[in-house]
Amino acid sequence: MDPVILPNIPKLHTIDVYEANGGYKAFKKSIGMAPEAVTDEVKKSNLRGRGGACFPTGLKWTFMPKKTDKPKYLCVNGDESEPGTFKDRQIFESNPHLLLEGTLVACYAMGITTAFIYIRGEYGKWIRMVEKALDDARTRGYVGKNILGSEFSAEIIVHKGAGAYICGEESALMNSLEGERGYPRIKPPFPAQYGLWGCPTTINNVETLSNVPCIINNGWDWYSKIGAPKHPGPILVGVSGHVNHPGVFEMPTGVPLLEIIHKYAGGVPGNKAIKAVIPGGSSTPILRGDQLEGVSMDADSMKAAGSAVGTAGLIVMDEDTDLLAVLARIAKFYHHESCGQCTPCREGTGWLEKVLNRFVRGEGRGEDIDLLMDIANNIEGNTICALGDAAAWPVQSMIRRFRDEFEKRVGAHPVKEEAA
Amino acid sequence: MLTPQNLQRIENLKKSYPHSQALVLPVLWIAQEQYGFISQDTMKEVAALLKLPFGHILGVVTFYTMYHTKPVGRNHIEVCTNVSCMIRGSQKIVRELEEKLGIKMGETSNDGAWTLSEVECMGACGGAPMCAIGEEYYENLTPEGVERMIESASKRKVGA
């Protein structure tokens, strides 16, 4: 299929080129439809969130109350911080108007008049690109009061984060936007009932909203036939690690991982064997390289293989990779990013890091393998948000699939620094 | 004190948010831009400006990694050492940087020109190993390329 999220059109980031290529057509079409019909179109398309959870987007939109005295808000999640994930940045850079158009359609469908695009602070350069696109869209009358002479008004505000992985969690993002520490909230109540400032709020990922215009333009039927039937549509897969051509590739869902690695990303340097892959960002369970046959980039296939699509940030590791050093690094990350509210996560992520570093130093003890599993099991499911799970899954999956790697390192001599 | 221009920027921002507390992050960004870092006095200034307790501002500043409570070098090098960068040799980049700049990770050079920090994933895994100097991303780094990068960064105007 031809790419629709990141088509290869020079200067598509400018409003002139975007409009010349059918830009804002979906938005114009939407405001001629009933809002419910727009939501229905997205619902029937089977679009599922691209931020990691694969939740059906149209269904999420229907959770918003139709009648309420309170203002309603849309949060666009551009906090993109999951290690191995770098796809939303590509949208900010190459196709920011697509994101704005999807945002406007979502606002119209849900009767929302204010949307906040929350972008991680490290993306300063890309924040300015989105702001420029927003200024241009406003100048052309797509944003503001009585848009294009209609009854519909919507304002979009770009909000800069300040360095905290946890703010990609939807309720932490809302707290951060409210000027608080980025602490996740206990759910329920869910954002559609009690979101920003206690008002009904929907949070969608950047790539998710960028999928909306093509659904409106071509219809749900067209969209639902792209890729994997239960998880359809184009998907941006970011491939990094040991591949010849790392990068972000747009493809239909359901492409086999081996095809992604060998055809899209040019294979493994030196034709080395693949030892392991992390398929969808650092929190998704690791898969063995010798068990990738038949596994593809869609929710069902990934689930069957014992992992998840996550953010589709695929990290490839060749046969020479020190997997325990990788796991220790992942553990360090989650320890650093734990917000500290829940004891199992705050303490457990630190314990995981310490015990894993023992293995990296060659000082692991036989009982440490079960200890790691025990700590991970006691974090998973026992915290307010999914960061605890995200810290537990890599450890659990590594022990299940690469137990020999741990056993080899019990009481072994210290590994050389080079190995890392 | 925040400059009149910055106070005006803050005033303009108020229109975008239904509650002024939402201005905490944007105002801290403006303050850091002006002062270079956020001291206790700056936190007090921001607290007074937004009519919030000092403790609230302190809590926010210390939660987010991008607010600096101490001065940083004119060139702030942030090296990613997370998985994608690590398996493509970020450790060698770190060693090279430490050697060339004569400072260790987390330190600032005596002349205040350089600060070297280890950071978590910056969303440039396709260009691993990478680092950022200010807002500029440097991707596909090699140990040999580090010296060139330092040179070109030192020629850039401060804040550019």
String of DSSP letters for B6-27:
HHHHHHHHGGG-SSGGGGHHHH
CA A208, A257, A244: angle at the middle one, nearest 5? 100
pLDDT of residue B154: 83
Pick from B23, B24, B126: which is nearest to A248 by CB?
Answer: B126
Q: Give the torsion through C-alpha atoms of A51, A54, A57, A61, to 10 deg.
A: -80
pLDDT tens for A321-360 read 999 999 999 999 999 999 999 999 999 999 999 999 999 9
For residue A193, what is the DSSP state? T
DSSP state of A263: I
Cα A294 to Cα A225, A233, A254, A258, A300, distances in angstroms? 20, 20, 10, 9, 12
> Regarding beta strands B75-80 and B131-133, do their DSSP bridges make them parallel or antiparallel, or are they unpaired?
antiparallel
Measured in angstroms, the CA of B14 and the nearest CA of chain A are apart by 12
The number of angstroms, rounded, from the C-alpha of B28 to the middle of its chain's C-alpha atoms is: 12
Chain-chain contact of A163 with B64 (C-beta, under 8 angstroms): yes
Beta strands in A161-246 (DSSP E): 201-205, 227-228, 231-232, 234-241
Cross-chain Cβ contact B91/A417 below 8 Å = yes
Whole-number pLDDT of residue B135? 94
Residues of A with Cβ-Cβ distance to B83 under 8 angstroms: 83-84, 241, 278, 282, 315, 326, 329-330
* Residues A38/A30, Cβ–Cβ less than 8 Å: yes
Rounded mean pLDDT, A274-300: 98
Q: Return d(Cα A305, Cα A300) in angstroms, integer.
A: 9
Residue A419 has pLDDT above 80, yes or no: no
Instruction: Tell me which chain A residues have a C-beta less than 8 angstroms from the C-beta of B126.
Output: 86, 238-240, 246-248
Nearest Cα residue to A346 out of A356, A354, A355, A337: A337
> Are B125 and A84 within 8 A, CB to CB?
yes
Q: How many CB atoms lie within 10 A of CB B50?
A: 20
Label residue A416 by pLDDT band (50, 70, 90).
Answer: low
d(Cα A154, Cα A142) in Å, to the nearest integer? 9
Question: Which tens digit of pLDDT belongs to each residue from B52-100?
Answer: 999 999 999 999 999 999 999 999 999 999 999 999 999 999 999 999 9
Distance from CA of A179 to the nearest CA of B (A): 4
Nearest CA among B146, B82, B131, B126 for reference residue A244: B126
b/e string for A110-124 if b means 16 or more Cβ within 10 A?
bebebbbbbbbbbbb
- Alpha-helical regions (H) of chain B: 4-13, 24-35, 40-50, 54-63, 83-86, 90-101, 143-155
d(CA B73, CA B61): 19
**pLDDT at position B153, please?**
86
Mean pLDDT value across chain A:
97
Closest Cβ opposite residue A337 in set B60, B120, B135:
B120
Partners of B78 in beta bridges: B117, B132
pLDDT value at A225 more than 70: yes
φ/ψ region of B63 (left if φ > 0, alpha if ψ in -120 to 50, else beta) reads alpha
**In this structure, are residues B31 and B42 in contact, taking their beta carbons and an 8 Å threshold?**
yes
pTM of the model: 0.97
Q: Pick A163's closest partner by Cβ from B23, B65, B83.
A: B65
Helix (H, G, I), strand (E, B) or coil at A410: strand
Taking the CB of residue A210, how many other CB atoms lie within 10 A of it?
A: 29
Chain B residues near residue A272 by CB distance under 8 angstroms? none
**pLDDT for position B160:** 40
- Nearest residue in chain B measured CA to CA from A247: B126
- What is the predicted pLDDT for the residue at B157? 58
Chain B, nearest residue to A175 by Cα: B22
Q: How far B37 CA lies from chain A's nearest CA (Å)?
A: 13
Tell me what the mean pLDDT of segment B106-111 comes to: 96
pLDDT at A261 over 70: yes
The tens digit of pLDDT for each residue in A7-47 reads 999 999 999 999 999 999 999 999 999 999 999 999 999 99
Give the pLDDT band of residue A1 (cuts 50, 70, 90): confident
Structure tokens at B107: 């330190």
Token digits for B37? Answer: 């870092």
Say whether residue A179 is in contact with chain B using an 8 A CB cutoff.
Answer: yes
Which residue, chain included where needed, has tokens 């998704």? A284
Alpha carbon separation from A212 to A61, A99, A100, A113, A141 (Å, rounded): 12, 9, 11, 18, 20
CA–chain centroid gap for B130, Å, is: 15
In the stretch 131-170 of chain A, residues with CB closer than 8 A to chain B read 155, 157, 159-165
Query: pLDDT tens for residues A123-161?
Result: 999 999 999 999 999 999 999 999 999 999 999 999 999
**Nearest Cα to Cα of residue A333 among A81, A50, A79:** A81
Q: Per-residue confidence at A109, pLDDT binned at 50, 70, 90? A: very high
Q: Is the pLDDT of residue A211 over 90?
A: yes
- DSSP code of residue A166: G
Burial class of residue A50 (count of CB atoms within 10 Å of its CB; 0-12, 13-18, 19+):
buried
Encoded tokens for A397: 């999956």
- Residue B64: helix, strand or coil by DSSP? coil
CA–CA dist A83, A98 (Å, integer)? 25
Q: Which of B24, B83, B135 sits opposite A83 (nearest CB)?
A: B83
Contact B25 A336 (CB under 8 A): no
In this predicted structure, the answer to whether residue B156 has a pLDDT above a threshold of 90 is: no
CA dihedral sign, ordered A211, A44, A155, A33: positive
Phi-psi region of B159 (alpha: psi -120 to 50; beta: other; left: phi over 0): left
Residues 227-246 of A with CB under 8 A from B: 238-242, 246
Nearest CA in chain B to A157: B16
Nearest to B64 among A162, A178, A247 (CB): A162
- Tell which A residues from 103 to 122 touch B, by Cβ distance under 8 Å: 120-122
How far CA A176 is from CA of A18, A155, A158, A165, A185, in Å, comes to 32, 20, 13, 11, 11
Q: Is the peptide bond before A234 cis (omega within 30 degrees of 0)?
A: no
Q: Which amino acid is at A132?
A: K
CB A275 within 8 A of CB A321: yes
Query: Is the pLDDT score of A78 beyond 70?
Result: yes
Using the Cβ of A180 and the Cβ atoms of chain B, whether some distance falls under 8 Å is answered with yes
- Contact (CB, 8 A) for A371 and A395: no
Answer yes or no: do B120 and A81 touch at CB < 8 A. yes
Nearest CA to CA, how far is B122 from chain A (Å)? 7
* SS3 (DSSP) at A367: coil
pLDDT (tens digit, 9 = 90+) per residue, B22-55?
999 999 999 999 999 999 999 999 999 999 999 9
The tokens for A349 are 């992520």
Q: Are B27 and B46 in contact (CB under 8 A)?
A: yes
The number of C-alpha atoms within 13 Å of A267 and in the hemisphere containing its C-beta is 5
Q: What is the average pLDDT across A93-107?
A: 98
**Residues of chain B whose C-beta is under 8 A from some C-beta in A?**
16-19, 21-26, 28-29, 50, 52, 59-60, 63-67, 81-84, 86-88, 91, 119-128, 132, 135-137
